[in-house]
């Protein structure tokens, strides 16, 4: 395992991030499981050799650099960076607090940039950066202005960096999960969940592993960069095509 690719995944202690860590590890990759709390420890222990837990707050640039440094120190290289860390704070525009607005942007958007800035000097030909977007970043949903803005910004960042980093042979792509039952979405009411489910052409919620499988494939794709890859059961199609 000493020569196998190394993945750094933020927000990887649970949900989609944890599923991606398991997917990469099952394929023989080494994985740095990055999270703000110590919850990543249990996952790293369960995966065993080739997995480490790294405590970091990506909204802090020094902490993001430390996460990358710890990964390099442990594994000696870095091949795939997944920006999955995210927070959700709802509220219509007249009720959304300034603190919640800033928190969402700091983690979801600036946090991704902090990690990319720290990681890029260690990435070489064939490396991959995967940003995790959201359907709401491409279509409106009332009360979701902060989360939607952060994810729309992540889409723009992906496109700009895909051009900027292409000369180094680094791909940058955006994977867009649909409605997946995770801890973040579990706060939605049953009525809201059912309303959303009815708008999904496939007719069901997604599974964390389905997102992870696509993310792993994207990391291997060498001639795709700047792409938006929905994994949403057709949800985006039912509201219009992503531009």
pLDDT at 195: 78
Q: Give the neighbor-by-neighbor strand order of the sheet with 51-55.
A: 51-55, 30-35, 6-10, 80-83, 128-132, 171-177, 228-231
DSSP the chain: -TTS-EEEEET-SSHHHHHHHHHHHHTT-EEEEEESSTTHHHHHHHH-TTEEEEE--TTSHHHHHHHHHHHHHHHS---EEEE---------TTT--HHHHHHHHIIIIIHHHHHHHHHGGG--TT-EEEEE--GGGTS--TT-HHHHHHHHHHHHHHHHHHHHTGGGT-EEEEEEE-SB-STTGGGS-HHHHHHHHHT-TT-S-B-HHHHHHHHHHHHH-SS--S-EEEESTTTTGGG----
User: pLDDT at position 241, please?
Assistant: 40
CA distances from 186 to 88, 97, 183, 221 (A): 12, 22, 5, 32
Distance (Å, rounded) from C-alpha 67 to C-alpha 85? Answer: 13
Structural domains of the chain ordered from first start: 6-234 (3.40.50.720)
216 belongs to the catalytic site = no
Please name every residue paired with 132 in a beta bridge, in sequence order, or none if there are none: 175
pLDDT at 239: 55
Question: For residue 125, what are the contacts with CB-CB under 8 A and spacing of at least 6?
Answer: 168, 169, 170
**Angle subtended at Cα 135 by Cα 134 and Cα 139, rounded to the nearest 5 degrees:** 130
* Catalytic entry in 7, 138, 147, 216: 147
pLDDT at 231: 96
**φ, ψ for residue 134, nearest 5 deg:** -160, 150
Low-confidence ranges of the chain (pLDDT < 70): 1, 183-188, 239-243
What pLDDT, on a 0 to 100 scale, did the predictor assign at position 240?
44
Span 222-234, pLDDT tens digits: 999 999 999 999 9
């Amino acid at each position: 395992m000493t020569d196998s690719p190394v993945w750094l995944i933020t927000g990887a202690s649970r949900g989609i991030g944890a599923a991606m860590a398991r997917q990469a590890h099952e394929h023989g990759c080494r994985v740095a499981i990055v999270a703000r709390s110590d919850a990543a420890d249990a996952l790293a222990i369960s995966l065993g050799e080739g997995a480490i837990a790294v405590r970091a707050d990506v909204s802090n640039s020094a902490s993001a650099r430390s996460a990358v440094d710890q990964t390099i120190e442990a594994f000696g290289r870095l091949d795939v960076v997944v920006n999955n860390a995210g927070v959700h704070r709802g509220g219509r525009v007249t009720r959304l607090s300034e603190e919640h607005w800033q928190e969402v942007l700091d983690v979801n958007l600036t946090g991704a940039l902090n990690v990319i800035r720290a990681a890029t000097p260690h990435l070489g030909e064939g490396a991959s950066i995967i940003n995790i977007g959201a359907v709401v970043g491409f279509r409106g949903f009332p009360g979701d202005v902060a989360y939607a803005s952060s994810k729309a910004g992540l889409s723009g960042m992906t496109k700009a960096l895909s051009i900027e980093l292409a000369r180094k042979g680094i791909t940058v792509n955006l994977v867009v999960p649909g409605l997946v039952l995770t801890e973040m979405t579990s706060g939605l009411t049953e009525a809201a969940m059912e309303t959303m489910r009815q708008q999904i052409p496939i007719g069901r919620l997604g599974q964390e592993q389905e997102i992870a499988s696509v993310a792993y494939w994207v990391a291997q794709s060498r001639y795709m960069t700047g792409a938006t890859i929905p994994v949403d059961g057709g949800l985006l199609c039912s509201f219009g095509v992503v531009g």
